[in-house]
């Protein structure tokens, strides 16, 4: 059992209480006044103190106050005489666990000591639980701190640029990889620049509609104005289904694009021999055309036959056009260049292509149908490059109808523009001509491959794909033999600075 201190200036009472408590198995110490009692308390550190209320010098209330200052966990029982009820209540308010009236009855003493021990047990249990709880909180806090540090290190050391925003679109996370890609220092951008100002259009549109974005290739504009090719994806951040922000991931693919260009250059060098052979074959066919045309003209001149002269001259001019196309295609394919962007209308480009090539369709009984999306407006494009690409595709579509051997077919070519859900401008050219089988489709973008025999250069589609890819676009061909083909060119929708 715990130690009990008795503080009373009456030796008889001290002796009687000590005998009773000792009999019950308690370890008892005593003092004859308040000051001595405090000294004994400091030395012996008892858990329970019985203190007389009325003592000379330091009374029981003062002893109570000072003991509570020394050890608030100690239980103090005040012993009072009759008529000291107010003082007893004050003692309870100061933290006494109980009070006993003189003369102290053995049964009352037992109850008071028992209640004091119960309070001590409760305090010990509570202290243990509190300690356990504090340890658990400390462990949980350390775990949260560890996870937070881990996640922070993961973000800071990620090779991907990571940009997170709050619900208002303010940037709150901008890791070192994002700094390298965008060219901004973290302190320049955190809560200073809106994500809308640096995100590519596809990502902005997805987040505006509270949609996530799977990995796509795009282009961002760095601080110095440089266009950086990237792969980008975006996620919506949710807590209990409520949106709290967004996070975007950026992969710098400049090195990949450089490698692709190096591979392309290597392929071009490796294809020099094939190119020379192909050129010689094309030029030889064109020269045959020149020779044939000039021969017919010579006959017409000798016989003064204007029909032969006109036919011969038409043959010569047709081969001049073929030679011009060959030279322009070779220049376009061989030259590395960046698009000369300007604000222009995709619909106007398609109208120009129609105006230039429609005579060819009319002469061969091919119907042309136009369906241009008026909502596109003006976008940033290299007008001449896109026009040349569309000319090649439109010409191919008309040729597919001309060379179609099907009988009783009404040939038709559709020219269409549309802005799709991925924020791209689509140029669509569809024909119901001869179509292609899978073997032909696999060779479409091979240099000097042509389905037109001696009438094609075999460079048109190769040049077209190059011009489209220079715009960070894509070209897709769908075709079925005898049913026709659909060629779709997708170019990122860029409005420019308004």
Q: How many CA atoms lie within 13 A of 119 on its CB side?
A: 18
Tokens of 79: 């012993």
| Three-state SS at 308 | helix
Pairing outcome for strands 161-166 and 242-252: antiparallel
Q: In terms of pTM, does the model score above 0.85?
A: no
> CB atoms < 10 A from the CB of 105, how many?
12
Tokens of 490: 């997708």
Contact partners, residue 43, CB within 8 Å, separation at least 6 = none
> CB atoms < 10 A from the CB of 136, how many?
10
Q: 383-402 and 346-363 are packed helices; what angle lies between their axes, rounded to 10 degrees?
A: 30
Phi, psi angles (nearest 5°) of residue 195? -60, -30
Tokens of 384: 């001449």
DSSP of 109-165: HHHHHHHHHHHHHHHHHHHHHHHHHHHHHHHHHHHHHHHHHHHHHHHHH-SSEEEEE
pLDDT, tens digit only, all 498 positions of the chain: 678 999 998 898 889 889 888 888 889 999 999 999 999 999 999 999 999 988 888 988 999 999 999 998 899 999 887 667 788 888 888 888 888 888 888 888 889 889 888 888 888 888 888 888 888 888 888 887 888 788 788 888 888 999 999 988 899 999 999 999 999 999 999 988 889 899 999 999 999 999 999 999 999 999 999 999 999 999 999 988 899 999 999 999 999 988 888 887 776 666 555 555 555 545 655 666 677 778 788 888 888 888 888 888 887 786 776 677 666 656 656 556 678 888 999 999 999 888 877 878 888 889 999 999 998 989 888 888 888 888 889 988 998 898 888 878 899 999 999 998 888 999 999 999 988 888 877 767 665 445 554 444 456 677 788 888 888 889 999 998 988 999 999 998 876 544
Which residues are bridge partners to 224 per DSSP? none
Cis previous bond, 259, omega within 30: no
Phi, psi angles (nearest 5°) of residue 415? -110, 125
Tokens of 447: 């240099």
Contact partners, residue 181, CB within 8 Å, separation at least 6 = 161, 220, 222, 228, 230, 250, 252
CA distance 72 to 65: 9
């Amino acid at each position: 059992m715990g130690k009990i201190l008795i503080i009373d200036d009456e030796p008889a009472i001290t002796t009687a209480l000590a005998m009773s408590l000792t009999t019950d198995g308690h370890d008892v110490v005593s003092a004859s006044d308040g000051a001595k009692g405090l000294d004994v308390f400091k030395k012996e550190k008892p858990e329970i103190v019985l203190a007389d209320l009325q003592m000379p010098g330091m009374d029981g209330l003062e002893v109570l106050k000072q003991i509570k200052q020394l050890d608030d966990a100690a239980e103090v029982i005040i012993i009072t005489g009759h008529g000291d009820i107010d003082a007893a209540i004050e003692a309870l308010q100061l933290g006494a666990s109980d009070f006993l009236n003189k003369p102290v009855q053995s049964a009352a003493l037992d109850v008071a000591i028992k209640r004091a021990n119960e309070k001590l047990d409760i305090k010990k249990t509570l202290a243990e639980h509190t300690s356990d709880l504090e340890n658990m909180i400390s462990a949980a806090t350390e775990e949260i701190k560890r996870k937070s540090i881990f996640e922070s290190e993961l973000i800071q050391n990620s090779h991907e640029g990571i940009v997170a925003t709050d619900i208002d679109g303010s940037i709150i996370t901008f890791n070192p990889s994002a700094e390298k890609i965008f060219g901004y220092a973290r302190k320049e951008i955190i809560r200073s620049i809106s994500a809308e100002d640096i995100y590519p259009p596809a990502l902005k549109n997805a987040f505006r509609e509270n949609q996530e974005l799977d990995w796509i290739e795009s282009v961002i504009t760095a601080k110095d104005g440089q266009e950086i090719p990237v792969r980008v994806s975006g996620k919506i951040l949710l807590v209990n289904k409520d949106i709290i922000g967004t996070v975007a991931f950026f992969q710098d693919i400049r090195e990949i694009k450089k490698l692709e260009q190096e591979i392309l250059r290597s392929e071009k060098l490796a294809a020099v021999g094939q190119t020379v052979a192909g050129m010689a074959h094309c030029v030889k066919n064109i020269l045959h055309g020149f020779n044939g045309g000039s021969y017919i003209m010579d006959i017409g001149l000798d016989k003064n036959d204007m029909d032969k002269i006109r036919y011969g001259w038409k043959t010569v001019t047709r081969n001049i056009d073929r030679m011009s196309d060959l030279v322009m295609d070779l220049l376009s394919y061989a030259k590395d260049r960046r698009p000369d962007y300007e604000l222009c209308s995709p619909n106007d480009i398609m109208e120009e292509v129609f105006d230039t090539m429609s005579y060819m369709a009319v002469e061969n009984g091919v119907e042309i149908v136009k369906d241009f999306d008026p909502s596109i407006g003006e976008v940033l494009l290299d007008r001449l490059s896109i026009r040349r690409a569309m000319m090649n595709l439109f010409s191919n579509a008309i040729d597919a109808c001309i060379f179609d051997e099907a009988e009783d077919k009404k040939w038709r070519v559709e020219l269409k523009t549309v802005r799709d859900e991925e924020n791209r401008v689509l140029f669509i050219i569809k024909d119901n001509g001869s179509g292609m089988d899978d073997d032909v489709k696999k060779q479409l973008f091979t240099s000097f491959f042509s389905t037109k025999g001696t009438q094609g250069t075999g460079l048109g589609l190769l040049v077209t794909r190059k011009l489209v890819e220079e715009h960070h676009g894509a070209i897709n061909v769908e075709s079925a033999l005898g049913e026709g083909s659909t060629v779709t060119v997708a170019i990122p929708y860029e409005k420019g600075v308004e």
